[in-house]
Structure 1
């Protein structure tokens, strides 16, 4: 209802969309003009959705992560691992409401984690994971707002000098591996040194990967296939292991080499460091 002011003007001061909606203030020469303006505002609110106040998104940050995993993460090779990391990240952030999560909240969390000794590289990965959640959900139509992490910069990581083993260190490493509890440790080490493969890639080899004097790696971390030549001696040893595995298990896709405990690998590596 318009109110008459000291200057004889009529003031309209209303929030036609209710509390939280846009406020309108305007003066008129007559009360009738003020009433007509109020009626026009109410009509606009009913006819034009964008005039209405935005509804709060009451989902928690972890709910967005669940949506991301359900509609996108399950199709990624490392989706399950990334999902687990994201859930832990949500808990560390206090699992805020999605529409209240801000770049300042993440910046404060990042500063605290750095003080606890977490590397900038790990924090960059967390940043990238969570930023991609908002980006992917926006593409899928499950997130309408802006990406709260879009404008924060990642830490610039200085590349370290590459390290390598000398020939003497390689000889010592192989000798130490020969005395390990797992008999396959020695040959797994040789495969890694010969091909540059990750430990898990060598450990999970199957007979079908041995072809024409090469080891063919597929389903790698980078997602690219690669074939690496190996010397005749290593190839012959692996062929013998493959024949034995196929005879015993009737499967050329069974792992050639037995798994080893991580503490054993770390112990042997410390001996040559």
Structure 2
């Protein structure tokens, strides 16, 4: 709106609408006020068009920016970046701003039909959401992606599998037959400490202290110490004096197959960790101590083993409503 104020003309308008920024100027001539308003609106439109082009970048472009500005500082930086690129490839490297719930719903349906587990798709979603949140925080993008509104798929709760003592022996026989000399040592570390595979495989001689192992390159970044028997300590330390372990997960997978052992899909990497925790609990180990040994940040993570505790079994017998009354059961 242009109004006359004294001998001048006042321009007062909101180029972005009633809730947008207010612009006021005084001009000697009305024509100057009109010209200024037209020029301002034109340049604003050009700026918004440029911004729209910037926000029209493809997902791969944002993944690169995310990695450069933030991702490279993460513990699993390269792995996370590669998983994001793989997801982008499967989505067709779309324009990032236009990734919406409908696109992801179609993608997830296709992947589920291909046999991909909901847990895998949920991890992809969590990673993608984290990317958009971080880029918004860094002002790399100026919008809230609708990806953030997508919910995780429901996952069926799976009973954690573990090996019996006889199965452990069957596995160790095959492990000892492997040509990968690092494998028997890594398997033993996992079985006596409950370490994750990467933690055991990454153990070095300097981490062998006080008759135990100090795990430093852990999932949550917190180091932890686990004591072991002297014979085990010396066996592992004497090997590490000769050099670090070589990658041996592929050899483990082959040995597991030769032992004719089967675990639920997705649990092979942690089967030795689950075996340690399960037998620890069944033998009467304290659940709080187990939490510390496994390096769980929350006790809730460790409670999945609680049902294996002897006290749990005994109490099921002692405290059910018919306890002690079924010595001479009657029939109706």
Residue 216 of structure 1 deviates from its aligned partner by 0.6
Partner of 2:219: 221
Residue 171 of structure 1 deviates from its aligned partner by 1.9
Residue 160 of structure 1 deviates from its aligned partner by 0.9
Partner of 2:106: 108
Partner of 2:253: 266
2-side partners of 1:77 and 1:44: how far apart? 52
Write the mapping of 1:25-36 to structure 2, written as runs, cut at 5 A.
Answer: none
1-side partners of 2:167 and 2:240: how far apart? 29
Residue 50 of structure 1 deviates from its aligned partner by 7.9
Write the mapping of 1:203-242 to structure 2, written as runs, cut at 5 A.
Answer: 203-242=201-240
Change (3 A) 1:42 1:268: same
Residue 134 of structure 1 deviates from its aligned partner by 1.1
2-side partners of 1:91 and 1:229: how far apart? 45
Write the mapping of 1:146-157 to structure 2, written as runs, cut at 5 A.
Answer: 146-157=144-155
Residue pair 2:97, 2:145 contacting (<8 A) in 1 also: no
TM-score with structure 2 setting the length: 0.62
2-side partners of 1:183 and 1:61: how far apart? 43
Change (3 A) 1:182 1:60: closer
**Paired residues, number:** 228
Partner of 2:40: 46
Task: Could you list the structure 1 runs, at least 4 aligned residues long, displaced by more than 6 angstroms after superposition.
Answer: 39-42, 47-53
Residue 49 of structure 1 deviates from its aligned partner by 8.5
Answer with 214-223 or 182-191: which moved more: 182-191
Q: Which segments of 5 or more consecutive residues in structure 1 lack a partner in the other structure?
A: 1-16, 23-35, 246-253
SS at structure 1 position matched to 2:236:
helix
Partner of 1:12: none
1-side partners of 2:236 and 2:190: how far apart? 13
1:92 is aligned to 2:90: yes
Write the mapping of 1:106-185 to structure 2, written as runs, cut at 5 A.
Answer: 106-185=104-183
1:83 is aligned to 2:81: yes
1:179-201 residue CA offsets vs partner (Å, 9 max, x unmatched): 22123322221111001112232
TM-score with structure 1 setting the length: 0.74
Change (3 A) 1:138 1:212: same
SS at structure 1 position matched to 2:149:
coil
SS at structure 2 position matched to 1:142:
coil
1:210-262 residue CA offsets vs partner (Å, 9 max, x unmatched): 1111101011122221111111110121233244x2xxxxxxxx41x343360
Q: Which segments of 5 or more consecutive residues in structure 2 lack a partner in the other structure?
A: 1-14, 18-29, 262-332
Partner of 2:20: none
Change (3 A) 1:129 1:259: closer
Partner of 1:71: 69
1-side partners of 2:114 and 2:108: how far apart? 10
SS at structure 2 position matched to 1:215:
strand
2-side partners of 1:100 and 1:239: how far apart? 54
SS at structure 1 position matched to 2:203:
coil
